[in-house]
Structure 1
Amino acid sequence: MDKERRSPLQSAAWQGHVQVLELLLLHRANINHMCNQGASALCIAAQEGHVEVVRALLHHGAEPNHADRQGRTAMKVAVKGGHHQVVELLEKCGAFPPVSPSRSSTNNPEEVLARSRTSI
C-alpha cells in the first residue's frame, strides 16, 4: 500500500489492468478495500471509465453502492465522467441512481447523464 493506503488492486483498477486485477482477486485481494479517502477499486475504475475492470469487479462481488467519505459512489462518478457503458453496467448490477441537485424529480441515470452534458 502507498501513503494514501491504496492497494495494488486499486492501482490495477486505476490503470485499467484487468488481467492484473483478476490475478490479485485470485489471490484473495480485498475487493472492497478503501483508501484514506474511502474510495474502493470499483469507484476508481468507474471514475476512469474502465468498463472491463468495472465488469470484473462486479462479477467478483464488489459492492456497487459503496460511497466514499464525500458521498461519491461508482454510479455518481461514472455519470459525472460521462462513462455511459459503466453507468449501464452499474445499473444492471443494482447500483442506485445518483441523487441530482437539480429541480427535476427524476434520478434515472440516463437522464442525469443527459442533464450533465447540457448543463455546462
Structure 2
Amino acid sequence: LMDGPAVFERALREMTASSRRALDKAGWEVTSVGRFVPHQANIRIIRGVAEQLGIGAERVVANIEDVGNTVAASIPLALADAHDTDRMVAGERVLLTSIGAGLAWGSAVLTWPDLRGKARV
C-alpha cells in the first residue's frame, strides 16, 4: 500500500536536494537559472520544490494541468512545449529534476541551445 503523504514528502526532499547538488557541481547559483523544468507528476510537488529552491513561478515550466502526468516523457514534453511557445531562450540556464518509479531521482543542468531554424520533430 502506498503512503501518499510520505511519497510526497520524499519527492520534495529528494528533488530539492538533487537539484542543489546539480547546481553545486555546475558552479551555478539558483538565481542564475532561467527555467526550472521538473518532472510533471504533481503540481503541488512542482510548486513545493520550486519554493524550497527559491525559484519564482515565472521561471517554472509546468504543463501538467494541460497534459496530465506523462510519466517518463514529462520533462521532454515540457521542454518541447516551452520551446514551441518561445519560453526557452538560447543561452538560458535550465535546471531539470525528476523522481519516478522505485523512488529513483536525479537532476541535471544544461544551457539551452539555439534551435531557431532547426527542424522540429
Same fold (TM over 0.5): no
Indicate the TM-score class for this superposition, using the shorter chain for normalisation.
Answer: under 0.3
TM-score, normalised with respect to structure 2:
0.27
Point out which structure has higher relative CO (alpha carbons under 8 A, 6+ apart). 2
TM-score, normalised with respect to structure 1:
0.27
